[in-house]
Amino acid sequence: MHVQINTDRNIHGSEALSAQVEAVVVGALGRFVDHVTRVEVHLSDENGGKGGGEDKRCLMEARLEGRQPTAVSHQAATVEAAMDGAAAKLARAIESTLGRLRSS
């Protein structure tokens, strides 16, 4: 499972951020490693330097073998919380998709 990370101009990518994103994705989606070929993670700060409430956004898109991509997003006060929320949503979406495939 390949993890690709994209940030906007307000969030600075670093090795530490990449490692953190990889850990969150693998932790949430590790059980689907046989089905997921790639996960794209897009991190953005909706308000830029202005600050504000839940302005950090994480969009995650998983590419499943032989299926259309599955995408979810989550907004939170911190990048970490946005990543955790999006990863949880994506895990539920993939589990639902695979469950439908098994039952058909």
- What is the residue range of 95's domain? 2-103
Per-block average pLDDT, block size 10, for the chain (104 residues)?
93 92 96 94 84 85 92 96 98 92 74
> How far, CA to CA in Å, does 98 sit from each of 35, 38, 74?
9, 16, 22
Total domains present in the chain? 1
Residue whose C-alpha is closest to residue 98's, from 36, 40, 41, 30: 36
pLDDT number for residue 67: 87
CATH of the domain at 26: 3.30.160.100
